[in-house]
């Protein structure tokens, strides 16, 4: 990528949960594609490092130490973003939190906290974005979901419940935008298991260290889907075959998913390494340091999804198939004419 491409401005994006994991990968990708970036998160060291990465590719970056569970703080960050960077073109709601624990051991405050961050954080971000985008009748909002928005799994009830709530909120808002004939785009990206930092930070009551369940993808795969969703405005994007299988399979036979997850869902979310029950977690406060985008499962993680590539390029594939069909039919017609 040459200097001119790196520094050409394409707009302003806001990314929540931007200091680490998927949010960090998303920030990097948008900056490389020419966007100035406003970043919201709680971890100062990670935000400082992300800011330098954005500036290294020739784009502007600002950050706000914000807990997305605080609606006023999110709104203030949006206002300051437009003052310092200009009109917000894209808003990515990515921030999340979770607790790995059986329901019978969960505490009310833990459910409240995960819901406020993972669900209400997306609502508050969307409200701040709509406040600015609706009067201009343009802009794009991306909600970051999960296969677990459709199919709950054991040991993550607070997270699954929050992602289910995001899906319901998304459906409601989508219909309202259509009713109003608004040109504001709204998309939701449903994720598979990913190699992010959350598994080292999440609060857990499991005897062994938590891990992503099933096939694991690098966060850059999901970041590509988020960038595509923001530009294309497609209603929903499923990242990776496991996401498609989980969502479609649950619609066909949820009882079978219950059975399989009861058998595999406990061991499948744990490594063989004992966990320190007293290790720090990020449920209430951020863990200091710059933790980057990747977790500790890189050796198992895929950096490409054929399913996602096909989904993102389906229009080109359809056009190519139609063109090829036209050539074949033309050749057949010519041959038939000559033989007549």
Position 4 scores a pLDDT of: 42
Q: What is the pLDDT of residues 45-58, one digit of tens each?
A: 999 999 999 999 99
Q: How confident is the model at residue 324 (pLDDT cuts 50, 70, 90)?
A: low
Q: Point out which residues pair with 92 in neighbouring strands.
A: 15, 142
d(C-alpha 202, C-alpha 281), whole Å: 5
Asked if 155 contacts 100 with a C-beta cutoff of 8 angstroms, the reply is: yes
pLDDT tens column, 94-104: 999 999 999 99
**pLDDT-wise least confident of 183-187, 272-276, 298-302, 327-331:** 327-331
For the chain, domain boundaries: 3-304, 315-340
Residue 111 designated active-site: no
What are the two backbone dihedrals, phi and then psi, of residue 202, each rounded to the nearest 5 degrees?
Answer: -65, 145
- Mean pLDDT over 196-218 rounds to 97
The total of other beta-carbon atoms located within 10 Å of residue 283's CB is 18
d(CA 71, CA 59): 28
Selecting among 159, 259, 318, 332, the annotated active-site residue is 159
How crowded is residue 338: how many other Cβ atoms within 10 Å of its Cβ? Answer: 7
**What would be the CATH architecture of the domain defined by 3-304?**
3-Layer(aba) Sandwich (3.40)
Sign of the CA dihedral 298, 202, 38, 22?
positive
Question: What was the pLDDT predicted at 316?
Answer: 73
Contacts of 309 (CB under 8 A, 6+ apart): none
Contact 34, 8 (CB under 8 A): yes
Contact 242, 248 (CB under 8 A): no
SS (H, E, C) 69-95: CCHHHHHHHHHHHHHHCCCCCEEEECC
C-alpha–C-alpha distance, residues 224 and 313, integer Å: 12
pLDDT at residue 2, as a whole number: 44
């Amino acid at each position: 990528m040459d200097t001119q491409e790196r520094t050409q401005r394409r707009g302003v994006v806001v990314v929540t949960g931007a200091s680490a994991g998927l949010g960090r990968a998303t920030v990097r990708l948008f900056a490389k594609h020419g966007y100035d970036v406003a970043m919201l998160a709680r971890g100062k060291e990670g935000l400082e490092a992300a800011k330098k990465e954005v500036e290294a590719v020739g784009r502007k970056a600002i950050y706000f130490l914000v807990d997305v569970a605080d609606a006023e703080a999110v709104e203030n960050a949006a206002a300051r973003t437009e003052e310092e960077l200009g009109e917000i073109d894209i808003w990515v709601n990515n921030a999340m939190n979770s607790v790995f624990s059986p329901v019978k051991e969960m505490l009310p405050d833990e459910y409240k906290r995960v819901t406020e961050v993972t669900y209400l954080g997306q609502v508050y971000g969307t409200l701040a974005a709509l406040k600015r985008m609706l009067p201009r009748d343009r802009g794009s909002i991306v909600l970051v979901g999960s296969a677990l928005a459709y199919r709950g799994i054991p040991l993550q009830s607070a997270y699954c419940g929050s992602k289910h709530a995001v899906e319901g909120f998304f459906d409601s808002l989508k219909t309202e935008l259509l009713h109003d004939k608004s040109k504001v785009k709204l998309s939701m990206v449903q994720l598979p298991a990913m190699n992010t930092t959350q598994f080292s930070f999440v609060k857990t009551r499991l005897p062994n260290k938590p891990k992503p369940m099933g096939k694991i993808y690098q966060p850059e795969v999901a970041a590509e889907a988020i960038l595509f969703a923001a530009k294309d405005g497609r209603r929903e994007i499923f990242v990776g075959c496991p996401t498609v299988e989980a969502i479609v399979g649950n619609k066909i036979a949820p009882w079978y998913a219950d059975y399989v997850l009861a058998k595999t869902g406990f061991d499948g979310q744990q490594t063989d390494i004992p966990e320190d029950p007293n290790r720090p977690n990020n449920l209430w406060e951020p863990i200091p340091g710059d933790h980057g985008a990747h977790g500790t499962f890189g050796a198992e993680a895929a950096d490409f999804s054929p399913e996602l590539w096909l989904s993102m390029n389906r229009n080109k594939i359809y056009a190519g198939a139609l063109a090829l069909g036209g050539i074949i039919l033309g050749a057949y017609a010519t041959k038939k004419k000559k033989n007549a």
